[in-house]
């Protein structure tokens, strides 16, 4: 790598780090991490829902790609975004259920069958919903 390439890469990293840290809420970094994580999952899940509902044309390859993205995103350790002491109760178990369902969805979607993909999509959504009503703030704007 030339010195010029190294300087350009470092400059890019500095610029990108500003953009990334600009999103982090300084007064509530744990909340910011959680909201960012769940927004990413939602933005990955939503187009699959549109496909399942027929709002956009079914495309098994795209659906499988999105399911794979969801599976990988779900593996991020968001637990570090929860304050110490909040590990009590069923939150972690529900998160594990959601991760397992996302893994199943990614696997099933590779087969390309719309019916089984839709069925597992609904099951995966159910694991997400299990936390929504219990833990999501009622006034949170998604």
pLDDT single digits (tens) 17-66: 554 544 554 557 788 888 888 899 999 999 999 999 999 999 999 999 99
pTM over 0.85: no
State what percent of residues in the chain have pLDDT above 70.
67
Say what the pLDDT of residue 63 is. Answer: 97
Q: How confident is the model at residue 7 (pLDDT cuts 50, 70, 90)?
A: low
From 76, 69, 82, select the one nearest 34 (Cα to Cα). Answer: 82
> Looking at residue 142, what is its pLDDT?
45
Q: Count other Cβ atoms within 10 Å, centred on residue 121.
A: 24
Two tokens, residue 56: 């956009």
Confidence of residue 84 (pLDDT cuts 50, 70, 90): confident
Query: Using 50, 70 and 90 to split pLDDT, how confident is the model at 6?
Result: low
User: To the nearest whole number, what is the mean pLDDT of the chain?
Assistant: 80
- For the chain, the DSSP string reads --HHHHHHHHHHHHHHHHHHHHHS-TT-HHHHHHHHHHHHHHHHHHHHHHHHTTSS---HHHHHHHHHHHHHHHTS-GGGGS-TTTTSTTHHHHHHHHHHHHHHHHHHHTT--HHHHHHHHHHHHHHHHHHHHHHS-TT---
pLDDT in tens, 94-132: 888 999 999 999 999 999 999 999 999 999 999 888 776
């Amino acid at each position: 790598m030339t010195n010029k390439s190294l300087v350009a890469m470092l400059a890019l990293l500095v610029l990108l780090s500003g953009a990334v840290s600009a999103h982090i809420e300084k007064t509530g970094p744990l909340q910011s991490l959680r909201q960012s994580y769940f927004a990413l999952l939602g933005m990955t899940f939503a187009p699959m829902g549109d496909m399942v509902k027929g709002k956009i044309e079914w495309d098994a390859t795209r659906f499988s790609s999105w399911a794979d993205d969801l599976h990988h995103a779900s593996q991020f350790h968001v637990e570090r975004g929860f304050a110490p002491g909040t590990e009590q109760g069923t939150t972690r178990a529900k998160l594990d259920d959601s991760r397992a369902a996302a893994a199943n969805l990614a696997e099933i979607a590779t087969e390309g069958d719309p019916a089984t993909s839709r069925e597992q999509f609904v099951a995966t959504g159910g694991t997400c919903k299990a936390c929504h009503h219990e833990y999501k703030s009622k006034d949170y704007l998604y």
